[in-house]
Chain A
Amino acid sequence: MNPLVNPGIGLIFWFSIAIIILIVLLKKFAWKPILKAIHQRNNAIDKAMSAAVDARAEVDKMKAKNEQIIQQAKLEKEAILKEAKLTSEKIVAASKDKATEEANRILAEAQKRITQERLAAVQDMKSQVAEHAVDIAEKILKDSMQKPAVQDQYLSSLMNDIELN
């Protein structure tokens, strides 16, 4: 038989012992820790992945919430602005009315006062004119009376009047 396919006992003996020792040693000191480490890491990665997915969902949720809040704030802002505008318009309108009223009132008062003043002035003028007329008449009378002819005439006229009566 060819020595290639008819092995001696030596190598079989040594190798049988060696392979069993090798399997036992590698199983205890290599494969168990290695497979355990790989398993643990896979678990850790899975956990981290699911955590990441959860976090992502959370972030999305928060984002949606924020969006909602922003939308709401926008609406609120618009409403407030609208109201403010309305209020200011109202105020402006009101103040305008008041001012017009005030002005009208002032105007009316002024007119009234002017009329009064005018009336007073006219009255004053009238009385002054009368006074002046009296004065003038007095002066004229004084002047004319100083002359005896005039006095006589006057007296005669007066006499005439009395006579007539």
Chain B
Amino acid sequence: MDGVGLIYVGIGLVVIGVGLGIGRIGGQAMDAIARQPEASGKIQSAMLIAAGLIEGVGLFAIALGGFIK
């Protein structure tokens, strides 16, 4: 396996991590909304921001893959 292939494996690993992270955020947000439905607006925006930040990590990996190649 050459270097380029390894880059893609690395990106894949990062994306798995990001997926788990965003999944967790979504799940916890659902829990929180179920517990406090009246705060759902605030929870949703906080969830989106957190998900956006984590998503950034995955996109970093993908974009850096592009930079290296």
Question: What residues make up the interface of A, taking CB atoms closer than 8 Å to B?
Answer: 1-2, 4-5
* Cα of A2 to Cα of B66 in the assembled complex, Å: 6
Categorize the interface residue count of chain B.
under 10
Number of residue pairs A-B, CB distance < 8 angstroms = 10
Additional pairs, 7, CB under 8 Å, beyond known A1-B67, A2-B69, A5-B67: A1-B66, A1-B69, A2-B66, A2-B67, A4-B66, A5-B63, A5-B66
Interface centre among B63, B66, B69 (most CB of A within 10 A): B66
Task: Identify 10 residue pairs between A and B in the complex whose beta-carbon atoms are under 8 Å apart, listed by A's number.
Answer: A1-B66, A1-B67, A1-B69, A2-B66, A2-B67, A2-B69, A4-B66, A5-B63, A5-B66, A5-B67
* Cα of A2 to Cα of B68 in the assembled complex, Å: 8
Residue of A nearest to B63 (CB): A5
Give the residues in chain B near A1, CB-CB below 8 Å: 66-67, 69
Give the residues in chain A near B66, CB-CB below 8 Å: 1-2, 4-5
Min CB distance, A19 to chain B, in Å? 22
